[in-house]
Structure 1
């Protein structure tokens, strides 16, 4: 039986707008009894907030079906067993994931970790505090490497851009958690409970979703509903060197192809 690790923005919705066929695809997965998990690099939302957003675009989900890069960062930090003092640069999703995992948010004194996600109030003082703690021995954890994020039909700096400034100033490479990192992919595979070769990683981004799926030895399906269109597909495949197992115009197209394959 196949399982599915599903990307969100560009695959199931565009911002507040649903993508045609996305809700029907999720219903098809439920009817077939196929296990699935929503896996997102977005560190700003809690799983509950992800579910609330799904409701706006017509998809019924539960928080247990969501794995965020913030949750994966917390799991990684717990497994490191270095201590529970964390200097946190990030929004609600990251703050909540750290609290849920038992980490103490420190504003003064040393830290065991500097963990950073998207933070739209990031400033020089936060940069200086993070760099000081990393140079004093804190482990630098970056929720996701995305340098740019879609925002109201334009691109804005993402968590990876903030991370680049901290990395340059601290002269320390972060541990990257989100896609295409094997860290989040392995947690997702473990949570789904299937062998990697039985899992389809579905997304619209060759460099995060598809590259992450390939690295985790999953099967991969690129949907042309987000970053890449039919017109730009060949150029993107050549530029990235990333080859998905399937290229589908939509999730509806993917369901048809998988049904034919079964």
Structure 2
């Protein structure tokens, strides 16, 4: 078994299922910590700050990490924009506090008219007026960024609209496609790898969803580990032309190469 120097890891479905604990996930993270193997939770959630993710893992799942272990699509979006043009710093954002704080912390300021960028993510209080401002700004030349393409989110009521559904409305209104940052796109993977400071051949992407987690790893050209504790099933994966590098039923089955 290859020994990987770093891990990129999904959250929901991999570390927990909604509000349900996955005991093997806690043991997996503790094994990584014992061996000082660096890891990042790579999540398409743009609404929360990393500290909120840390608190959720600790309080609800007894998994204890730091904010240095969390890389959200909000952070990836801000990092991506910051790398484009240092002279362009105005942005209009549809999104929650996590996204806006990430942009602010990267030196961006918010403008409703003639911004350099329009960033659209999940916003629980989205309004027609926000869509109107985003549409007009993009029509006037702002670069259009979408945090992630997830059309739905699972919660206790069922599958509710996700960021991708909000972004799709702006795409329809502007007749322009957004540049997407989150999984399965490579942008978030590249930024996460930069944060780890490792090479592609040194890391592996771990997740439960072939269409986001595993596809992100495949698109980026790194090894993948699919764990059957969440979305994807063996029957679904059997139909895929490109298979995950590794599959396990539980993270307890996975050895770190020097276990």
* TM-score, structure 2 normalization: 0.93
Q: For 2:134, what is the secondary structure of its paired residue?
A: helix
Is 1:5 matched up with 2:8? yes
**Alpha-carbon offset, residue 131 of structure 1:** 0.6
Report how far residue 254 of structure 1 moved.
2.1
Matches within 5 A, 1:77-156: 77-81=81-85, 83-107=88-112, 109-152=113-156, 154-156=158-160
Instruction: Measure how far apart 1:72 and its partner are.
Output: 0.6
1:228 aligns with 2:229: no
SS at match of 1:34: coil
C-alpha distance in 1, partners of 2:117/2:242? 33
Residue equivalent to 2:50: 47
1:212 to 206, 212, 216: 216
The answer (yes or no) to whether the contact 1:201–1:220 under 8 Å persists in 2 is yes
SS state of the match for residue 21, structure 1?
Answer: helix
Where does residue 191 of structure 1 map in the other structure?
195
Q: After superposition, what is the alpha-carbon deviation per residue over 1:26-66, rounded to whole angstroms, capped at 9, x for unaligned?
A: 01111222211111111011111111111121111111111
| Residue-by-residue CA offset, 1:107-165 (whole Å, 9 max, x unaligned) | 3x211110011111112221111110000000011111111111116111110111111
> What TM-score results when the alignment is normalised by the length of structure 1?
0.92
Query: Displacement of 1:237 after TM fit?
Result: 3.8
Aligned length: 254
Q: Does 1:22 align with 2:14?
A: no
Distance 2:99 2:223 in 1: 29
- For 1:206 and 1:153, locate their aligned partners in 2 and report how far apart those are by CA, in whole Å: 24
What do the CA deviations read for 1:172-208 (whole angstroms, capped 9, x no partner)? 1111000111111001111112211121100011111
Give the Cα–Cα distance (whole angstroms) in 1 for the partners of residues 254 and 164 of structure 2. 30
Aligned equivalents of 1:164, 1:254: Cα separation in 2: 38
Alignment correspondent of 1:246: 246
Q: Distance between the aligned counterparts of 2:241 and 2:139, measured in 1?
A: 36
SS in 2 for 1:225: coil
Shift of 1:17: 2.6
The question of whether the paired residues in 2 share the 8 Å contact of 1:207 and 1:242 is answered with no
